[in-house]
């Protein structure tokens, strides 16, 4: 099988954005606004229409079988409003993901966003993760390492603040993709600098703290090819040796997707990072939607690069399938049950 571990529902029917706009307007009028979850009126046909011409079409054209599918990352917007804002919004977003997966059970597998909020505890995030995995069959979650949206004033990922979430993930045996949302700090471009900076930051927080050794089953996917990590592998390894940080130990916990949009980048990734730590991903439909005028192919058609990366059949199968089943055991169990 060819499993894409990084897809987002970026093509939501208009009613979803309208619900969110009204919610955002309400918290702009009153920052303490609680509101109600209410309903978002979207039909099954509208959901079909929203993915048929986009994620599903591209999946078929590019020859992938299944996409691990999560809410639109830049819309998570954890910095907007208060904890109720995030809670209602996350529940709706996750329920929409469940509906996509119910309509196309062999094409999509669900991953949830969490109702994080700056300054709030993680009780709501833990409860939503338990609901999504326990009651709705989700196989993983996205965790925003910076719910402030580009200001990084919250506690780092090794802080005990986060531990209830790591404990719950271990208990449920689900991984997290460490994935920021849009930035409201205009120093950063959301998908250009904030995303890649956050990927590198998550890696460094894991490396310098060594905290993951306290959570033997904790697994993170560092998206967007690991930010600067593969390119600067020697820098990080050298710093680790100077400082006594356990660089090799991270291999049990950190995995890198292949959302790198040119051949030399993919070649470097598979050359530098151990194959068992690489998961196929394309992040479509995402940050880069165009066609490279030189190659004539979509930049985010990462399968093309992997197929040309000089991998053995065994290594390619690990990246496309085996590693992903290992990191997402609940997905592996669902696939085995369906086989």
Catalytically active residues are 283
Q: Tokens for 144? A: 């925003």
* φ and ψ at residue 221, rounded to 5 degrees: -100, 125
Binding segment (CB under 5 A) for Zn ion, from list 33-41, 282-290, 299-307, 316-324: 282-290
Cite the beta strand spans of the chain per DSSP E. Answer: 3-9, 66-71, 108-113, 140-143, 176-178, 220-222, 254-257, 278-279
Binding segment (CB under 5 A) for Zn ion, from list 61-69, 203-211, 249-257, 275-283: 275-283
Comparing C-alpha atoms, which of 212, 140, 209, 207 is closest to residue 179? 140
Binding segment (CB under 5 A) for Zn ion, from list 24-32, 151-159, 283-291, 315-323: 283-291
| Residue 278 burial class via C-beta count within 10 angstroms: exposed 0-12, middle 13-18, buried 19 and up | buried
Cβ closest to Zn ion, residue 129 vs residue 177: 177
Q: Are strands 66-71 and 176-178 parallel, antiparallel or unpaired?
A: unpaired
Q: Tokens for 2? A: 């060819």
Least Cβ distance, residue 275 to Zn ion (angstroms): 22
Cβ closest to Zn ion, residue 199 vs residue 283: 283
Cβ closest to Zn ion, residue 9 vs residue 245: 9
Show the binding pattern over residues 61-100: x = contacts Zn ion (CB under 5 A), - = does not.
------------x---------------------------
Q: Tokens for 250? A: 């991270």
Distance CA(70)–CA(35), nearest Å, equals 25
Which helix (H) or strand (E) segment is 335 a member of?
helix 329-338
Cβ closest to Zn ion, residue 150 vs residue 211: 150
Cβ closest to Zn ion, residue 75 vs residue 166: 75
Least Cβ distance, residue 71 to Zn ion (angstroms): 10
- In the chain, DSSP finds a helix count (H) and a strand count (E) of 14, 8
Distance CA(26)–CA(28), nearest Å, equals 5
Distance CA(67)–CA(76), nearest Å, equals 19
Least Cβ distance, residue 201 to Zn ion (angstroms): 16
Considering only 83, 283, 315, 321, the residue that binds Zn ion (CB under 5 A) is 283
Cβ closest to Zn ion, residue 91 vs residue 190: 190
Tell me if residue 9 falls in helix, strand or coil. strand
Least Cβ distance, residue 230 to Zn ion (angstroms): 17
Binding segment (CB under 5 A) for Zn ion, from list 130-138, 155-163, 230-238, 279-287: 279-287
- How many residues bind Zn ion, per CB under 5 A? 2
Binding segment (CB under 5 A) for Zn ion, from list 26-34, 53-61, 127-135, 281-289: 281-289
Least Cβ distance, residue 298 to Zn ion (angstroms): 16
204 near Zn ion (CB under 5 A): no
Least Cβ distance, residue 242 to Zn ion (angstroms): 33
Q: Tokens for 56? A: 């599903």
Interface with Zn ion (CB under 5 A):
73, 283
């Amino acid at each position: 099988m060819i499993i894409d571990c990084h897809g987002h529902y970026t093509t939501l029917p208009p009613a979803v954005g309208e619900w969110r706009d009204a919610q955002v307007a309400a918290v702009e009028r009153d920052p303490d606004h609680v509101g109600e979850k209410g309903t978002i009126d979207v039909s099954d046909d509208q959901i079909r229409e929203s993915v048929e011409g986009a994620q599903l079409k591209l999946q078929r054209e590019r020859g992938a079988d299944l996409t691990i599918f999560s809410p639109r990352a830049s819309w998570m917007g954890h910095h907007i409003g208060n904890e109720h804002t995030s809670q209602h919004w996350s529940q709706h977003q996750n329920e929409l993901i469940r509906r996509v997966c119910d309509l196309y059970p062999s094409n999509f597998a669900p991953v949830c966003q969490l109702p994080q909020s700056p300054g709030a505890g993680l009780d709501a995030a833990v409860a939503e993760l338990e609901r999504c995995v326990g009651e709705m069959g989700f196989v993983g979650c996205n965790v925003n390492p910076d719910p402030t949206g580009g200001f990084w004033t919250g506690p780092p990922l090794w802080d005990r603040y986060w531990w209830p979430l790591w404990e719950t993930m271990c208990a449920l045996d689900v991984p997290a993709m460490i994935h920021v949302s849009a930035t409201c700090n205009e120093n950063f471009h959301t998908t250009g600098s904030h995303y890649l900076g956050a990927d590198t930051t998550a890696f460094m927080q894991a490396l310098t703290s060594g905290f993951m050794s306290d959570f033997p089953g904790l697994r993170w996917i560092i998206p967007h090819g690991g930010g600067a990590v593969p390119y600067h592998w020697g820098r990080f390894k050298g710093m680790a040796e100077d400082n006594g940080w356990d660089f090799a130990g991270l291999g049990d916990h950190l995995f890198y997707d292949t959302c790198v949009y040119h051949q030399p980048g993919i070649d470097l990734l598979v050359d530098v990072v151990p194959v068992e730590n690489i998961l196929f991903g394309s992040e479509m439909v995402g940050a880069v939607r165009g066609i490279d005028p030189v190659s004539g192919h979509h930049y985010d058609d990462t399968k093309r690069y992997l197929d040309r990366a000089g991998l053995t059949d065994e290594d390619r199968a690990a990246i496309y399938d085996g590693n992903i089943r290992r990191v997402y055991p609940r997905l592996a169990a669902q696939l085995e049950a369906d086989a």
